[in-house]
Structures are given as structure tokens and as C-alpha cells.
Amino acid sequence: MAHTACAVCTPRPAVARRSAVAPLRAAVAVRPARAARCAVRASAQAVETADVKSLNSQFGKADAVEVKEGRGGLPTVFLKSDNGATAEITLFGGCVTSWKTAAGQEVLYIRPDAVFDKSKPISGGMPHCFPQFGPGDIQLHGFARNCDWELAGASDGPTVTLVLTDNEYTRGMWPNSFKAEYTVSLVGDALTTRLVVTNTGDAPFAFNASLHSYFGVADVETATVRGLQGLEYLDRVADAAHPSVHKELRELATFRGPVDAVYRGAPAKVVLDNGAGDVGMASDNWPDVVLWTPWTAMEACYKEFVCVENAQYAPVTLEAGAAWTSATSFIFSSDPLIDFCNGNPDQPECLVYDD
């Protein structure tokens, strides 16, 4: 497919080296607040802006959870953990747009061509691909990333739950009744995401999905991903609809040209070396990993990011009433995780690098 060229590049923030993160935990009370709406391309003005003040009085939790206008005035949930790490999640797209460690390291990446006016999905952070990874019958990555999600619950973990249900817009392209519940927790520096998709209709449906995470890197050419050696992967660079099949022989997958690869049956633990440290990803029931860089198709910014996506590439069929759950915990350590975990095997982040 054709890629949009990035307009401007922003400098990468300075990196502070650090090593410890606090334990993971998550709890949330789910209480839907308002109906989700979806953006209609090129008519951003028509989209209702949620009343952030009233959402904040309903869901805000002292310093831990705050709802206010974020970039572009989009209603955004700001999480702050006990150690000072922060995360931002827009209701539009249910998208984590920032995850900063207590040391101030921004781990995610927003492309410079991203807009925050609902005229298109947010190009960066952690957009959802649902109910289609694509290409396929509907828009490339599905509609979840260009719908307003409901703010459904929050706790001072800090944790927030967003919900997306079918509506006229979604049924217009995908005639199924569903509920997607997305929970984001920040404990210490560690970010955890959990997606539950429920078939709320009376007939089975099939979907596939990914968490299309954009990570900032010091240099795309030195970024590596560990954990994929020996896996079969689908190379989609030439033709995403008709990928060629290969075996990954490298211990460290690299980005030295355009990469669009779906690794099937990936291990739960994958580590990105972003040039400032290790981003560990420990997933549950995301069977595949997608690596993507547009390379020079996005000349102005391709050096600054890679996508490492947790994916469910093969369609999942959900019977009426059935649910599918997937989760990932992300941690960042400026020291190689393997070194840190040798000395601190009981630390929770070592769950992503204990073998």
C-alpha cells in the first residue's frame, strides 16, 4: 500500500539511564459513561467533544487519573503512577499516545504527520487494529482506531477502562454486535494493556486484531528485536495480500530496509532494543508479532521509530456470547534486561526476560 510521507521530524528526547520498575498490578471497576461515536473522515467538526470536566469528576482519582483535554483538545485520560511515570490515553481511538518512565523517557512515538482532529486515526502511540488487521474487506486496520471509546471505569492503580460497542457507523461496514473493553494500567514504570472482545450478538463473527505499537528508536538501523529466531514469518513488503513465507534465522531481527513482517506463533516475551535501553513486551494470547517500518516511504521520520505489534493475525471466530482476551505488559529498562534480571530475578519486569 502507499504510505503517507511524514512532514516534519521532531528531535528525540534525551535519555536518562535507569534500571528499576515497580510491581505490576491492575484493578478496575467498569461503569459505562456514554455512547461511543466514530469519526467520519474529513468532518471532524461534527464530532462531539466529550465533557472532560464531568468525566473527570466522575472518573478522576487524585493525582493518579485525570481526564482533560489533551493534544488537539481531544478528551484524554492522564495516568500517573506512584513513582511518577505517566501515560496518556485518548478516548478517540482508545489510543495510548504517551508512556513516559519516571526518569522522563518517552517510550512511544507519534509520527510528525499525526493529527489530533479525528479526521484520521492517530498516527502513532498504540492504535488498535480491530476488527480487521488488513488488508481485507473494510478500511485497512478496521474502525476501532477512529471511533470515540467510552470511558467506562478508573481506579487509582492507576488504571482506566475504555469501551467500544457497535453503532450505526461500525455496523455500516461490519454488521456485528460486539463490545471491546480496553484496560490500561500503569504501575511503577510498567504499562499493561488488556483487550477483551465480546460477541454481544446472536450469531458468530470472525475478526483479527493488533495493538499497533509505535516505539521511538535512537536509530532505526541499530534497533533490534529479540525473541523471533526460528519463527516462520510472512513478508508483506511486496504484497501484503499475498505475502511470501520465510524462516527467521537471526537472533536479533533488524530494520535495514522496508520491513512488514508477521511472525506467526511468537513467544510471549519479545524485547526491542531501542538504542536507549530495552523495551520488554510480555504478552498473553497475542499469538503473533508484526514488525513494520515504512523505511524511506516516510523519508522525514522513518529513522525515528519502529512498530512492534502484538497481533492476532489469523481470524478468530467468536460464538454469540463468547469473549476473547489478550494482554501485554510493557516495561523499559535503560540497562539491558538480561543484565538487570541476572541481579534482580524476582523483579516483575524480569518476567519478560527470564529465559
Ligand X SMILES: O=P(O)(O)OC[C@H]1O[C@@H](O)[C@H](O)[C@@H](O)[C@@H]1O
Q: How far is the CB of 33 from ligand X (least distance, A)?
A: 28
Near ligand X by CB under 6 A: residue from 12, 128, 212, 226: 212
Pick 86 or 208: Cβ nearer ligand X? 208
Please list every residue from 217 through 236 that binds ligand X, using CB under 6 A: 236
Near ligand X by CB under 6 A: residue from 21, 190, 290, 341: 290
Please list every residue from 292 through 351 that binds ligand X, using CB under 6 A: 292, 307, 309
Q: How far is the CB of 153 from ligand X (least distance, A)?
A: 28
**Catalytic positions:** 212, 309
Q: Is 183 in the site for ligand X (CB under 6 A)?
A: no
**Residues in contact with ligand X, total (CB under 6 A)?**
11
The owner of cell 536518562 is 16
Q: How far is the CB of 249 from ligand X (least distance, A)?
A: 21
Q: Among all residues, whose Cβ is closest to ligand X?
A: 292
Q: Is 181 in the site for ligand X (CB under 6 A)?
A: no
Please list every residue from 110 through 129 that binds ligand X, using CB under 6 A: 123
Q: Is 194 in the site for ligand X (CB under 6 A)?
A: no
x/- letters, 49..88, toward ligand X (CB under 6 A): ----------------------------------------
Q: How far is the CB of 259 from ligand X (least distance, A)?
A: 9
Please list every residue from 253 through 272 that binds ligand X, using CB under 6 A: 260
3-class secondary structure per residue, the chain: CCCCCCCCCCCCCCCCCCCCCCCCCCCCCCCCCCCCCECCCCCHHHCCCCCHHHHHHHHCECCCEEEEECHHHCEEEEEECCCCCEEEEECECCEEEEEECCCCCECECECCCCCCCCCCCCCECECEECCCCCCCCCCCCCCHHHEECEEEEEECCCEEEEEEECCHHHHHHCCCCEEEEEEEEEECCEEEEEEEEEECCCCCEEEEEEECCEEECCCCCCCEEECCCCCEEEECCCCCCCCEEEECCCCEEECCCCEEEEECCCCCEEEEECCCCEEEEEEECCCEEEEEECHHHHCCCHHHEEEEEEEEEEEEEECCCCEEEEEEEEEEECCCHHHHHHHCCCCHHHHHCCC
Q: How far is the CB of 311 from ligand X (least distance, A)?
A: 8
Pick 91 or 122: Cβ nearer ligand X? 122
Contact footprint for ligand X (CB under 6 A) = 1, 123, 141, 212, 236, 240, 260, 290, 292, 307, 309
